Structure 1
Amino acid sequence: MIGNGKGGAVYFDLFCGTGRSRIRNGNEWIDGGAVAAWKTSKEGDAPFTDIYISDLDEEKLNVCAERLRKLGAPVHPIHASAVDAVNKMVSAVSGYGLHFAFVDPYSLEALDFRIISTLSTLKRIDLLIHFSAMDLQRNLAVNLTAADSAFDAIAPGWRENVNTTASKEEIRRRFVEFWRAKVTSLGVWPSIDQKLITGEKNQPLYWLLLAARHGLAHKFWTTASNPEGQGALF
C-alpha cells in the first residue's frame, strides 16, 4: 500500500503551529505533531510519502514547513483556515493510500465538524482528535445561551438533541454523546478509549481520542492510550 507505484501513506496536520513546543514553566522543548510524526515514520522504516500541513498563521506555517524540509520530509504547506485547507488536502491525494490526520485545534470552537466530515470521505482514514475538556467545562454556560454558539460548528443540530435543562455535567455528557454519534454516522467511529491530558494541578485539559474505520486501529489505540486503565470522559 505504501510502496512505489502504490497509494502511499499521507499525514495531515490542520493546526501545525511552528512544529515545536515549549513545556510550560520550563526550558524543555519538544517536537510538534507533524515533526514528531515524520521522525517516527522514518524510525519505523515506513516514512510518510506526503505530509500536508496548514495553519492560519502564515509565519508559524512557514517555520514548521522549513523544519520538516531540513529533515527531508515531503511537506506541502497550505496557508488557510482548517476548513478550507482540509478540502485542498483531500483533493490533492489519490484516495487509494493510507491517511492519518492529526486534528489538534487551539480551542474547542475550532473543532469544526466540517473538518471531520471532509476527512471521512477518504476510504482509508484514521483521525487523532484533540477534544478540549477545559473549554467544554469553562465555556458551557456561554455556549448554551449564545445565538452564535461554538457548539453549532462542533456538532450541528445539538440544540434539537441535547436537553439544556439538565445539570451541567449531564449537559456536557449528552453533548459529547451527540458529537460522537455524528462522527460515527460518517463511518469513522470514535474509540471509547481516550487519553486524558491534565495540567500541573491535575485539572483536565483535553482528551485525545481516535476515530477510525478499521478495528485494528482501535485495537492499537486502546493499548497506546490507556496504560493506566483510565475511565471514560464522564
Structure 2
Amino acid sequence: MSRLPRRPIVLAATLVLSVIALLRYGVLVTILVMTIGVIAAVLVGRHQAGRFSVRRKGPRGPIWRPKVHHQELPAPADDPVIGFGEPVVELFASRTPPLAHLGLSATVRSQLDGFALGRTRRIIEAPDLLNHAAADAETWPVVETAVQKTMALARSRGVEVSPQGQPRLMQALALSAVQGVLLAEWRQLEDGATVWDGATARIRASDAFSIQHITDEMERRQLPELFAGIARRPPDFEVRLLLPYALATAFYLRLHGKPPAAFAA
C-alpha cells in the first residue's frame, strides 16, 4: 500500500486548513492553501491510479569519462615521407625527440605528435592482440621472426636468459612485435603497398612518432616482464632496448607483405 495519504484525506485536510487560514490570515493565504491542497489531491489521485510514482534515489554507479586521445585526431596536413631501414638497436638508446635531425617546424611536429598519440592509444588498448596474431597465418610468422632476432641480439650482447622467466620475457617481446605489425598494417591501409628504395621502406613521419610513443608506454608496462626472464645483464647494454627493437623489427618485416584486406582496431 502506498505511503501517501489518499485523496479524501488530502481534501479534508485542505478544507480544515483553508478555514483556519481564512479566520486568521485572510483571503490571499486561504487561496494559496486551497491551491496547494488541490494540487496535492490531484497528485495523490494520479499516484493511486498508477500514473505517477515517486522515484527513490539509489546508489550511483561509476561515471564513464572518455580517455584523452581515445580516438585519433585528424591526419596532419603535412606528414612527410621518410626512409626506414632495417632497425639497429643503437637508434633507440637516445632519448632525443623523433626525427630531430629533420628540423621540422614546431607546428608540424605538434600535429604529428598529436596524431601519433591517438594512434598509439588505439594500438596499445586493442584487446587480445597476441591471441589474434597467433591465429593469423600471415601475422604470426612475422612476430616469431622479430622475437627470434631480438633474442639473438640479446644473447650477442651478453644477456643471459633465465629458464624460469623466459616465457614472460618472450611474451613481452611478442606483444611489442604484434604492435609493430599492427602499425605497419595501418600504414599500408593508408598508403597501399610499401614503396622500397633498396632495403629502405618509405613510411610517414607520424610512424616514427608512433613508435616512440608506443615504446615509452610499453616500457612502463612491460619492463617487469622483461626483467623476469633475464638472469644476467651486461653493464654496457640497456635491456629496455629490446622492446623497441622487437617492435621496429616487426614493423619493418611486415612492410614487406601485402596490404591487409580488412582491419579493425
Same fold (TM over 0.5): no
**Structure ranking higher in helix proportion:** 2
* Greater RCO structure (CA 8 Å; 6+ sep): 2
Under TM normalisation by the shorter chain, which class is it?
A: under 0.3
